[in-house]
Structure 1
Amino acid sequence: MAAFTLAHLSDPHLGPLPAPKLHQLAGKRALGYQNWKRSRHAIHRRDVLDALVADIRTQAPDHIAITGDLINLALPGEFTQARTWLESVGAPHDVTLVPGNHDAYVRATQKQISEWIGYMRGDGASAGAPLSFPFLRRRGPLTLIGVSSAVPTAPFMATGWLGHAQLDALDNALSQLAGDPNFRVLLIHHPLSSKSSYKRLTDAEALLTILRRHRVDLILHGHDHIHSTMWFDGPHGRVPAIGVPSASAMPYRHYPAAAYNLFSITRGGDAWRCEQRVRGFVDGAGVESAEVRELQRVQLI
């Protein structure tokens, strides 16, 4: 079987920020706008993001996964700007998206996430169906499982939450996949473990309980803006959870420059093999490739 290549990027934080109206800068948005003007506009650069996406195209992956934070303050104009950017990355069939906390920055514009619904629609969902999580998409030998941890939070908080309804639906969906040999990839914005209480997934333990019962082979997330590999217990062994830096970032403090991951997934006999390759900016130069490493061999039971 030929390798299936999955590209993963996250947290593009698209700029430039549309000019906000005064009435839109209340509460959390006012603080976020000050932060953007003070420093974030210089960290998250569109030219960096464009170069990274151009490099992804040269790698010709079979599919692209994006794990949230397309925008910054959830201003109405940002949603349209992000939809145009998504269309430049690829068609909805070829790109799968889950939202991040900045995409749900304030409650007033949560519904506007539906502007991107084509990239978050599960297989078999009708064109007029409302946005729903979790969703499942089959692409080649992969089953992509998208969940949303994007919820509005108080100022100075960036926590995520799945909620009982979504967790129950995920448990049911994974139960229905029992015996399905496809390689399963869970997409979520927040990491499943965090040292920062203000950035954590608040119901992570409930999600991990589900993942201990049902096979998931790879977990992809964003949010922390760093290279990250964590391992969690699954029913047949340890499962890797991989984080990636912001796709638009210049290096700052302990955060690395923009990068993305390429996963090469192959099946041989009754086992899957998954290799990870990192491509990103190095020393202010162009996009380069780091060492390939084998994440794991997944034995189908």
Structure 2
Amino acid sequence: MKLVQVSDIHFGGENRKAVEAATQRIHEEAPDLVVVAGDLTLDGKTSEFNAAAAWIDSLPRPTLVVPGNHDTPFVGPSELWVRFTRPWRRFKDRFGPEDGVDWRGPGLTVTSLNTARAAQLRWNWSKGAVSRSQIRRVVDVLKAAPSNDLKVVVCHHPLMEVLGGPMTARVRGGVDAANRLVEAGADIVLSGHIHLPFVTAIPFGDGKAQLVGSGTLSLRERGAAPGFNVIDADSGCVRVTALAYERGRFEVWRTWAFDRR
């Protein structure tokens, strides 16, 4: 099976040439599922959401989309009012529920977890959070999945800090969530947020569950060219290929491989 993982396109600040080239490359990859791991927009504006929806509609189906911290309005008094009263309305109108979306295909179970918050009891609202009720729901989905399925969770913020990453996620409840998801059988947790592709083992259970992050398709680069991930899985192994947009085309930037549980 094959997944494409994109995140942090930030329409309103997107790298237009990279986005255009990504559209063609994703069609060439012919994935079983396209996962969009948050931060579709730059400022949560209606025009940015419209651009994001048009682009995602141009990609191969099916798609699974989760929001990120940039996908709530926050520029100007009227936008802040929307943020506090209907933070996910623009997202939901175009992509469906912001949390708890499940997708199943042959040998594959995917579920989503919204780690973004419109407001928090801390200064930096861009950081992530996971509630106990969210953890319980995802655990139930994973435990109900067929035992041989590849079990994937999609969120925006990495649940645990990435060593050497260019920024932090500081997800409240993230370490507990990672531990519980591994106990429930998660194989991969896909995320974005830090604008740099990575693969790192979750240090719980048998150590075979992995955090997998994708880069950005925006102008907000943090140490890597614009890019996205292609994930290939068979019965014994998962391979992650980070593609980078350089010299007018997507080329392999780095690859990882790890054994399935």
Distance, in Å, in 1 between the alignment partners of 2:193 and 2:205 is: 26
Identity in percent = 21
Deviation sequence 1:266-299 (CA, Å, 0-9, x none)? 11xxxx31112222123x44211245442x2223
Q: Does 1:7 align with 2:33?
A: no
RMSD of equivalent CA atoms:
2.4
Match of 1:287 among 232, 250, 253: 250
* TM-score normalised by the chain length of structure 1: 0.74
For residue 111 of structure 2, what is the aligned residue in structure 1? 145
Identify if the C-alpha distance between structure 1 residues 101 and 6 changes in structure 2 by more than 3 Å, giving closer, same or farther.
Answer: same
Distance 1:87 1:213 in 2: 35
Tell me what 1:75 maps to. Answer: 45
Q: Superposed, which structure 2 residues align to 1:225-264 within 5 Å?
A: 225-249=195-219, 251=221, 254-264=222-232
Task: Check whether the contact 1:259–1:278 (CA below 8 A) recurs between aligned residues.
Answer: yes
Corresponding residue of 1:182: 149
Asked if 2 retains the 8 angstrom alpha-carbon contact of 1:157 and 1:199, the reply is: no
Secondary structure in 2 aligned to 1:199?
A: coil
In the alignment, which of 276, 280, 283 is matched to residue 240 of structure 2?
276
1:87 is displaced (CA, Å) by: 0.7
Paired position in structure 2 for 1:116: 94
Identify the residue that residue 107 of structure 1 maps to in structure 2: 84
1:237 offset after TM fit, Å? 3.1
1:202 corresponds in structure 2 to 172
Q: Is the aligned partner of 1:214 residue 2:184?
A: yes
Give the gaps of 5 or more residues in structure 2. 74-82
Larger gyration radius, structure 1 or structure 2: 1
CA contact (8 A) 1:211 1:235 kept: no
TM-score (norm 2): 0.84
Aligned partners of 1:215 and 1:235 also within 8 Å: no
Bigger CA drift: 184-193 or 154-163? 154-163
Cα distance in 2 for residues equivalent to 1:166 and 1:244: 23
SS at match of 1:238: coil
Tell me the distance in 1 between the aligned counterparts of 2:98 and 2:53: 18
Q: How many residues align?
A: 246
Contact 1:280 1:289 in 2 (8 A): yes
Matched with 1:86 is 56
In the aligned structure 2, how far is the partner of 1:217 from the partner of 1:188?
14
Displacement of 1:77 in angstroms is: 3.0
Q: Tell me, in whole angstroms, the C-alpha distance in 1 between the residues paired with 2:205 and 2:71.
A: 33
Structure 2 match to 1:298: 260
Aligned-residue offset at 1:250 = 6.6
| Matched position secondary structure for 2:58 | helix
SS at 1:73's partner residue? coil
Q: Assess, with a 3 A threshold, how the Cα gap between structure 1 residues 162 and 249 changes in structure 2: closer, same or farther.
A: same
What SS does structure 2 have at the residue aligned with 1:161? coil
Structure 2 counterpart of 1:90, one-letter code: P
Q: Which amino acid aligns with 2:140?
A: N
Q: How far, CA to CA, are the matches of 2:52 and 2:248 in structure 1? A: 26
The separation in 2 between residues aligned to 1:13 and 1:89, in whole angstroms, is 17
1:72 maps to a residue whose letter is: L
Give the superposition deviation at 1:149.
0.8
User: Cα distance, 1:11 vs. partner?
Assistant: 0.6
